[in-house]
Amino acid sequence: MSKNITDPAQFGRVAVAMGGSSAEREVSLDSGRNVLAALQARGVDAQAIDGIPALLDALRAGHFARVFNILHGQHGGGEDGVLQGALESLKVPYTGSGVLGSALSMDKTRSKQVWQSLGLPTPKFVALPHGADAAAVHAAARTIGFPLIVKPASEGSSVGVTRVFAEADLDAAVQLAARYPGDLLMETLIEGDELTVAILGRQVLPSIRIVPKGEFYDYNAKYIAEDTQYICPGLQGEAEETLRTLALAAFDALGCAGWGRVDVMRDRSGRNWLLEVNTAPGMTSHSLVPKAAAAAGIDYQELCWRVLETSFREDR
């Protein structure tokens, strides 16, 4: 459980880790600037640090007491368990999930394997190694069936994602996903409503139904477009409660903690399908966790404060 903090001095000096070297660098910088301003407005002694090498140098020099991790993505993004392991070794407290939850959540294939083993619903999928030949790719597509999704197994923010409706478009989708490191994931395209559920401590916030103007919620719809609709709560009554219960079960199954966001598709028959967990979600002006928090009566500054409180977790 997180500790309830009333005095900003109890946090000590806080490093807000942002930027980094992942494909999500620009989103992380945007998130980080917002978080930094919010914490400072609440009296927290917080300072921005760009990337993992600079952060670790500052921590070894004793400059900070704890870390608010708002780095996104893998390979220098701070969301894949690597940073968490380094912070554990330095005995520096930090926000969000630990090594296991971060690593499992970043790898969408392993996430789905865990959920599948527990009987939690996730779209049918095939994992493809990076550089898989065309025969393997097309065989996987026949197993999944069209329409399907092709994406990197370990990227976020819809980076490298393609919806594929016909075999003629498959090779281009694989080439796009293969620009990013790691394995590829091919899964059934669930047609229906896209929903997301934020978790703060053990509180499950109201769901959000995302209605992009375009065909799906891509990078542009997430971070640039001003015409995406966000309906919160996304569902009503028993359907909303069922979705929130599923989201928390998915979060717990991957060993996640502190805070995060669970992305779900709801098909035309009303069945929910788990897509992924984000362990350091975006905190930009377009981001979903702040929207869900606001619907629950938690303003942006209070949200950042409560996320920072997760660095006091006693169960690490």
How far is residue 153's CA from residue 181's CA, in Å, rounded to a whole number? 9
Q: How many CA atoms lie within 13 A of 275 on its CB side?
A: 25
In the chain, which residue ranges form alpha helices assigned H by DSSP?
25-41, 52-60, 82-90, 99-106, 108-117, 134-144, 170-177, 219-223, 237-253, 288-295, 300-309
Amino acid at 226: E
The set of catalytic residues is 24, 157, 223, 261, 263, 276, 278, 282
DSSP 179-224: TSSS-EEEEE---EEEEEEEEETTEEPPPEEEE-SSSS--HHHHHT
> Encoding tokens for residue 178?
């293969």
Pairing of strands 66-69, 14-18: parallel
Closest alpha carbon to 247 in 287, 277, 289:
277
Bridge-partner residues for 162, per DSSP?
150
Positive or negative torsion for Cα 188, 194, 198, 202:
negative
